[in-house]
């Protein structure tokens, strides 16, 4: 290894040092999904990133998705996934598959991945310790372009977060164990709800008083009209970009999750590209970052 290469590595560490000091003891809630959950190199890089965060004194809480894996399992079982307005219709048979895949297979695979990379992780779903109490989602659809009426669509066992009990998650702060949370909630009568993982991450971040909410996605972040990445946005700027049609489609609920988290006391929220190896470290510990910061 040349001296120049060694010096570059030293500069990276020096650049990271003030961020390590600043975030020591703080909680980061990280939504893990997309390609970062599929490609082997990205999976291992993610595990190494969260382990490093824990080693330097940060408390990472991982909330994961798993929509594609749910769909694959349903097809293998002879069940046909159904969606309304982009939301999975979740009947009793489907919610059983959702819980099996999210709280079972995927959750334990992520825990195992972190453990194999030298960390310590433990998995739980929102049902454990009533960590995520949910209520049935009431989905409304407009009657038509020329109508002010709305109809209520029954999505089945799809829920919204009603409350977060942080008791179990707080216990992990005093240990070196990284909690990995499946976005499955429990109703007041013990019923199981399928909940959007971004929404769960946002609500957990608010309940924990997190320093950061970080959403790993399959896009670079928010882009302007020319397709250039916007590295930082204030709330008023973000709302204007939504109104002007610059932020559209599936990016809108992710951005709204970030804005809600900020209103709820989270210091900063990030949307970053999970297709980039070590995107977490690059966003947190470098001056430039690799995604969009909402603050």
In the chain, domain spans? 23-294
Q: Which band of pLDDT confidence, cut at 50, 70 and 90, is reported for residue 82?
A: confident
Average pLDDT estimate for 229-248: 92
Please give the Cα distance from 247 to 253 (Å, whole number).
10
Please give the Cα distance from 193 to 157 (Å, whole number).
5
Percent with pLDDT over 90 in the chain: 71
- Using alpha carbons, list the distances in angstroms from residue 51 to 28, 30, 41: 12, 13, 16
Average pLDDT estimate for 168-177: 91
What's the pLDDT at 147?
56
CB atoms within 10 A of CB 102: 25
Q: What is the mean pLDDT of the chain?
A: 91
The half-sphere exposure of 186 on its side-chain side, counting CA atoms within 13 A, is: 15
Q: What's the topology of domain 23-294?
A: Carbamate kinase (3.40.1160)
pLDDT at 280 over 90: yes
pLDDT at 144 over 60: no
Please give the Cα distance from 162 to 185 (Å, whole number).
9
Give which of 159, 164, 31, 163 is closest to 95, Cα–Cα. Answer: 159
What's the pLDDT at 293?
94
pLDDT at 241 over 60: yes
pTM for the structure as a whole: 0.92
């Amino acid at each position: 290894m040349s001296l120049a290469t060694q010096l570059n590595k030293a500069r990276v560490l020096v650049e990271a040092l003030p961020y390590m000091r600043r975030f020591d003891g703080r909680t980061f809630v990280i939504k893990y999904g997309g390609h970062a959950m599929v490609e082997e190199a990205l999976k291992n890089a993610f595990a190494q990133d969260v382990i490093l965060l824990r080693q330097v004194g940060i408390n990472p809480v991982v909330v994961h998705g798993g929509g594609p894996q749910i769909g694959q399992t349903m097809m293998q079982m002879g069940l046909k996934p159904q969606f309304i307005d982009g939301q999975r219709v979740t009947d009793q048979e489907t919610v059983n598959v959702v819980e099996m895949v999210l709280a079972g297979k995927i959750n334990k695979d992520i825990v195992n991945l972190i453990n194999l990379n030298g960390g310590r992780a433990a998995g739980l779903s929102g049902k454990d310790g009533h960590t995520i109490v949910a209520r049935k989602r009431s989905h409304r659809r407009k009657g038509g372009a020329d109508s002010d009426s709305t109809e209520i669509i029954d999505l089945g066992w799809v829920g919204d977060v009603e409350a977060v009990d942080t008791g179990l998650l707080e216990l992990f702060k005093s240990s070196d164990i990284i909690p990995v949370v499946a976005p499955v909630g429990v109703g007041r009568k013990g019923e199981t709800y399928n909940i959007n993982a971004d929404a769960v991450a946002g609500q957990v971040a608010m309940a924990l008083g997190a320093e950061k909410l970080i959403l790993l996605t399959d896009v670079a972040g928010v882009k302007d009209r020319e397709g250039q990445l916007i590295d930082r946005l204030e709330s008023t700027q973000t709302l204007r970009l939504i109104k002007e049609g610059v932020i559209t489609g599936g990016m809108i609920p992710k951005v709204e999750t970030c804005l809600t988290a900020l209103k709820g006391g989270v210091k900063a929220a990030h949307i970053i590209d999970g297709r980039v190896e070590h995107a977490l470290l690059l966003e947190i510990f470098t001056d430039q970052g690799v995604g969009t910061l909402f603050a």
